[in-house]
Amino acid sequence: MSDNKKGEKRKTIVVEIGVFSGRKNPAFELDPDAAKDLTKRCREVIGRKAIHPPPPPKLGEFYGFAVSVPKTLQKDLGLPELIRVFHGVVTTVEDRKEAHWKDEANIEGHLEKLARRYDRGEFLDLVGYRGAGDGADSAKGR
Amino acid sequence: MGFMSDLIGKIIKAVAEWVDRCLPQYEPAVWNDGGTTQSCNNCYNYGCDIQTNDYAQPGHAHGVYLTPPDDLACGPVTAGAVADGLVPTNFGQGCGCSDCHHQVALVIRPNADYHWYRKDRDGRWSHKMAWTQATNLDNSGNIITDPRTADRGSYTVFCGCFCVDKSKVTISGYGC
């Protein structure tokens, strides 16, 4: 998730799809336009409406998207280094502290569309992902 | 009487020291830091109780590379684990106390993924799924007393158990 150990500094946002346990999860890098759009959505959510943590993950099921923001972009974009999105909850991680925000911008649905656009949809289908609607709906009810 | 009680005391002390030294304690906070440790150590790291921060893969440290999805079956993953130094054992037989090792179990979602559980000091089992938090609960929210019967979702194939002597096991991964 972090910049690699060979000294190469990653300059793009990477989205990892949480579907596996041992095997490396599928991931994709965002192009500048997609990164800009995602940043806008994240800003609409982070710091707005605090919510409880997402439900515990289950083996063999989708357990969220992890958005990794390289150090070189964190300040410019105003985003934390790691954002997890699952079940209608956006979790930010900064200095090892987690905060949870209600996904009112449907970031999860947006990431699902991006995953399919980047040809990673098969992995969502593999675990029977039913779409962000469930997560957003359940978050509204809490 | 004095000799016997001294002897018993020494045996108890030796057993306690062995347990402390050799069997992992269920301490989720050690892994669930929200940062690199949690994000970059998967079920194989957790099972072996070795933090490499590079998403360890069975066999990778010894030139055995699993190729998904075909290699995600009991045989290839076992071969990788054995190359890393894990020793197959029976579930009931466990790992004994002649050496310093703990027990782990391998399960498979055929042609998709593998997953590891480890037996902790308290006799229960715990696990850690990729970047998620370590837990001793299964998919149904029950404490895991036996990984063979735990709710494992789609990881339906129970491959077997292994002993991990951390001083003889080396693992690594592709990076994180």
Q: Is A20 on the interface with B (CB under 8 A)?
A: yes
CA neighbor of B128 nearest in space, from B20, B15, B47: B47
- Residue A142 or B121, more confident: B121
Residues A56, B135: C-beta atoms closer than 8 Å: yes
Q: What is the dihedral of CA B34, B35, B38, B41, to 10 degrees?
A: 170
For chain A positions 26-55, those within 8 Å of chain B (CB to CB) are none
Structure tokens at A89: 């909850």
- Residue B21 or B33, more confident: B33
B129 interaction partners in chain A (CB closer than 8 Å): 21, 57, 59, 63
Say if residues B155 and A60 touch (Cβ distance below 8 Å): yes
Weakest-pLDDT range from A53-62, A133-142, B60-69? A133-142
What pLDDT does residue A103 have?
Answer: 97
For B71-87, write each residue's pLDDT tens digit: 999 999 999 999 999 99
Q: What is the dihedral of CA A123, A35, A94, B129, to 10 degrees?
A: 10
For A90-119, write each residue's pLDDT tens digit: 999 888 788 999 999 999 999 999 999 999
Q: Which residue has the tokens 């130094």?
A: B85
Q: What are the extents of the domains in chain A?
A: 14-128
- Cα gap B48→B86, rounded to integer Å: 9
Structure tokens at A28: 């994709």
For A35-92, write each residue's pLDDT tens digit: 999 999 999 999 999 999 999 999 999 999 999 999 988 988 899 999 999 999 999 9
The model carries a pTM of 0.90
Q: With cut-offs at 50, 70 and 90, classify the pLDDT of residue A135.
A: very low
Say if residues A39 and A87 touch (Cβ distance below 8 Å): no
Q: Is A22 on the interface with B (CB under 8 A)?
A: yes
* Averaged pLDDT, A13-40: 95
- Cα gap B127→A51, rounded to integer Å: 27
Say if residues A94 and A81 touch (Cβ distance below 8 Å): yes
- Cα gap B43→B106, rounded to integer Å: 10
Residues A61, B72: C-beta atoms closer than 8 Å: no
Q: What are the extents of the domains in chain B?
A: 2-173
Q: What is the dihedral of CA B89, A23, B33, A54, to 10 degrees?
A: -110
Residues A24, B55: C-beta atoms closer than 8 Å: yes
Say if residues B57 and B66 touch (Cβ distance below 8 Å): yes
B19 CA to chain A: closest CA distance, Å? Answer: 27
What pLDDT does residue B1 have?
Answer: 64
What pLDDT does residue A140 have?
Answer: 42
- Cα gap B107→B115, rounded to integer Å: 5
